[in-house]
Amino acid sequence: MIPSSYPSKEQIARLTASMLLDIQAVHFNAEEPFTLASGLPSPTYIDCRKLISFPRIRSTLMDFMTCTVMRNAGLEAFDNIAGGETAGIPFAALVAERMALPMTYVRKKPKGYGRNARIEGAMSEGQRVLLVEDLTTDGGSKLSFVDAIRETGASCAHTAVIFFYGIFDGTEEKLAEHGVTLHHLCTWWDVLEEARTRADFSTSTLDEVEAFLKAPRAWQDARKA
Strand partners, 149: none
Tell whether residue 50 is among the known ligand binding residues.
no
Tell whether residue 134 is among the known ligand binding residues.
yes
Tell whether residue 94 is among the known ligand binding residues.
no
Tell whether residue 140 is among the known ligand binding residues.
yes
| DSSP secondary structure code for residue 91 in this structure | H
Which string of b and e fits 137-146 if b means at least 16 CB within 10 Å? Answer: bebebbeebb
Instruction: Extract the runs of DSSP E, i.e. beta strands, from 5-127.
Output: 26-28, 34-35, 41-42, 44-46, 80-84, 103-106, 119-120
Tell whether residue 133 is among the known ligand binding residues.
yes
Q: Which long-range contacts (CB under 8 A, 24 or more apart) does 204-209 make?
A: 204/30, 205/28, 205/29, 205/30, 205/43, 206/28, 208/30, 208/43, 209/28, 209/30, 209/43, 209/44
Tell whether residue 141 is among the known ligand binding residues.
yes
Tell whether residue 111 is among the known ligand binding residues.
yes
Closest CA to 84 of 20, 38, 39, 148: 148
Tell whether residue 190 is among the known ligand binding residues.
no
Tell whether residue 71 is among the known ligand binding residues.
no
79 vs 159: CA distance, rounded Å: 14
Tell whether residue 107 is among the known ligand binding residues.
yes
Closest CA to 22 of 79, 69, 60, 76: 60
Tell whether residue 109 is among the known ligand binding residues.
no
Binding-site residue positions: 107-108, 111, 133-141
Binding-site residue positions for orotate: 137
Binding-site residue positions for 5-phospho-alpha-D-ribose 1-diphosphate: 107-108, 111, 133-141
